[in-house]
Amino acid sequence: MKGVCPLTTQKLSNYSYGPDCFQEMPEVLATYGFQSAVLIGGEKALAAVENEILDVLQEAGISVTGSFVYGKAATMANVETLAQLEEVQVADLIIGVGGGQALDTTKMVAKKLGKSLVTIPTICSTCAAGTGLAVIYTEEHSFDFYEVTGPAIHTFINTRVIAEAPDQYFWAGIGDGISKGPEVTRAMQEAENRGFEPPHIAVLGRAIAQCSLQSLYQYAHQAMADVRENRVSPAVEEVVLAIIISTAYASNMVVQPSFDLTTCHAHAFYNGTTVIRASRKHLHGAIVAFGVMVLHAYFDEQDQLAKVASFNQALGLPLTLEDMSLSEGDIPAIVQYTKSTAEYRNTPFDTEQLAVAIQKANQFGQALKEL
């Protein structure tokens, strides 16, 4: 079965990066002819960069209709509230500012209102700034659904702002980032086993996903050391671009109208953990990092399991269920919830085998800690 791409136009977010990239906004935005914009973002994110952005927009001759905190989570209730604001409705452009949930909320608002979107990530905890996909949660903070939104027209990645943000977000972003290579590779392999013939766009996405993993393994340790000192460096730039651009481009390429190969077992594990209240205090990417161990345990890839576990240990990412405030007693509930996820629909897996894989990953991590 040949993978079909009925849409031949592939949209990817353009991007500017570096400690002074906001200065490029007037020139970039001038090409679109926007007259007005509205800012939507996280409370801390807006506090950190709003004044700087407002100054640049004034220089660009773009009026600002308002600035709004998106809420506390990416929920449909918050999307609907924002979409009903007159200041949002009259703006030519939505500028999303913040982390993953803030940016996913703005993507949903932009889609609902048919508006252009620019994203400004102030932390590097996920690839949300560059993807054309939004992750939506319930009011109880459990995973709800994915929505294809299309990517932002441009992403401004200010590495100074990211390096000065709390380093745990950068740390979690690395954990999330290391999932893209193995998940896309495995999801595509499983699809091929079912007769899928990946088209060019999917093959290209897989190659980019695999390159992002190489960059993270090469630069993550130095980048973490630099971010802890609030220092922009070549290593920080490499990691930021791997997370926000490479993994996002890969996702955009392997999510098409006829197939979705962007996530599988690692994110299925994460989504399953959202039903366990105790785990919600842990960052998304940290839990996904352990999910990568689960993926390799599921397919009995011992060398890769050992490599990921060693990497997690070196960076202080989770090695065991206990590291995420979970226990083996939570496994049945986690696995049961995975049956409702997009990962289960797109890359079907044996839930009993997944439960065993979670146990194996946990035991492997425990043994590594005891060495």
Q: Which of the four pLDDT bands, split at 50, 70 and 90, describes residue 10?
A: confident
CATH code: domain 167-370 is 1.20.1090.10
> Residues 84, 88, 91, CA angle at the centre, nearest 5°?
145
Mean pLDDT (whole number) for 132-137: 95
CA 311 to chain centroid, in Å, comes to 20
DSSP conformation class of 244: I
Sequence spans of domains, the chain: 14-164, 167-370
Paired strand residues for 147: 134
Sign of the CA dihedral with 108 first, then 113, 115, and 120 last: negative
Paired strand residues for 256: 259
Edge-to-edge order in the sheet of strand 116-121: 14-17, 154-157, 116-121, 93-98, 36-41, 63-69
Its pTM stands at: 0.94
Find out whether 362 and 321 touch, Cβ atoms under 8 Å.
yes
Q: Which of the four pLDDT bands, split at 50, 70 and 90, describes residue 11?
A: confident
pLDDT of 270-318, one tens digit each? 999 999 999 999 999 999 999 999 999 999 999 999 999 999 999 999 9
Domain 14-164 coded CATH 3.40.50.1970: yes
DSSP string across 19-73: TTGGGGHHHHHHTTT--EEEEEE-HHHHHHHHHHHHHHHHHTT-EEEEEEE--SS
The token duo for 312 is 């997690």
How many Å apart are CA 123 and CA 159, to the nearest integer?
Answer: 9
pLDDT computed for residue 1 by the predictor:
47
